[in-house]
Amino acid sequence: MNRLVLARWREAACAYCRRILALPLNLVFPPVCTGCNAATTLHATLCASCWSGMHFIERPLCDILGIPLEFDEGDTIVSPFALAEPPPFARARSAVLHNGLGRSLVSRLKYGDQTQLAIPMARWMVRAGADLLPGADMVVPVPLHRRRLFVRRYNQAAELARHLAGLTSIAYRPMALERWRYTRTQVRLDRAKREENVAGAFRVPDSQRRHVAGRTVLLVDDVYTTGATARAATRALLRAGAQEVRLLTFSRVAAGVSPTHMMPVQNPGIE
């Protein structure tokens, strides 16, 4: 029985214990929907209405970029985008499309001080990244520059990565990568400007190189937009000797993909 299976069994057992222990607490603080605050049976879950409004990314998808595709052409499909511009990371996966409730959750986590949202979001990321987790040696969040971290007080990617590492028993190494050069916000920048903005912004500190060299890194961020940040961070890890980098984000912007192309998703019981 591998480490991932054991971790899932442990999480299931812990979830059962939490439900029993939470009964008295629920009388004082009744559980509500993560999306709309409607009454639910458990904390950190979605009501039926919000669940149906979340655009989860399901197969068929590009095996490299994780882009949702309209037609299933086999077990392994590589999109024209990945063929035209192969990314430095090995594979990427995201849990949801960056629209509707998915976008709202990211905004509330990132700007609204609602760090408790990282718990259910990380659980959905575990499900989405099931094929990235086996063999991963460490979970590394995309870092903020210390100036931006001082203003925001926390790194939303680190919150997601911390919970994800706890759910999977993969080592959490938040200091393995640093954003040593201050960059302006990527919002409203086009693809070329984004690439220019983050070029050379990341590095692996000398003290962390021995942890990174020869390892398979699971790089975690909240949103995949153009991929400029992910590519810059990946290159820094590879320069430090990482064997492979895999990318896992909560949401992704998929231009030209309609929610009607999403496969219907049954509640996997991750609550």
Question: Is the model's pLDDT at 1 over the cut of 80?
Answer: no
Q: Which residue has better confidence, 17 or 253?
A: 253
Model confidence at 69: pLDDT above 70? yes
Residue 267 has pLDDT above 60, yes or no: no
Rounded to 5 degrees, φ, ψ at 183 are -125, 150
Q: Map tokens 């986590």 to a residue.
A: 109
* Whole-number Å distance between alpha carbons of 254 and 21: 41
Instruction: Output the average pLDDT for the chain.
Output: 86
The whole-angstrom separation of Cα 101 and Cα 187 is 19
pLDDT value of residue 31: 81
Residue in the block written with tokens 């500190």: 205
Q: How confident is the model at residue 269 (pLDDT cuts 50, 70, 90)?
A: very low
More confident residue, 261 or 11: 11
Please check the confidence at residue 205 and state whether its pLDDT lies above 90. Answer: yes
Cα first-last separation, the chain: 24
Tell me the pTM: 0.83
Assess whether pLDDT exceeds 70 at residue 173.
yes
The predicted-structure confidence for 7-29, as pLDDT tens digits, reads as follows: 666 666 666 665 555 555 555 56
Please give the Cα distance from 61 to 231 (Å, whole number). 20
The CB-side HSE value for 15 (13 A sphere, CA atoms) comes to 17
Residues above pLDDT 70, as percent of the chain: 83
Q: What is the pLDDT, as a whole number, of residue 76? A: 84
pLDDT of 240 > 80? The answer is yes
* Rg (alpha carbons) of the chain, rounded to whole number: 18
Cα distance between residue 66 and residue 202, in whole Å: 24
The residue with greater pLDDT, 104 or 22, is 104
User: What does the pLDDT read at residue 18?
Assistant: 57
CA 144 and chain centroid, separation: 15
> b/e per residue, 4-23, with b = 16+ CB within 10 A?
beebeeebeeeeeeeeeeee
24 against 121, higher pLDDT: 121
pLDDT for position 13: 65
pLDDT of 206 > 60? The answer is yes
Q: Residue 253, class by beta-carbon neighbours within 10 Å (0-12 exposed, 13-18 middle, 19+ buried)?
A: middle
What sign does the dihedral 207-137-126-195 (CA atoms) show? positive
How far apart are alpha carbons 37 and 31 in whole angstroms? 8
| Separation CA 59–CA 67 (nearest Å) | 9
Nearest to 121 by CA among 177, 46, 38: 46
**254: pLDDT strictly greater than 80:** no
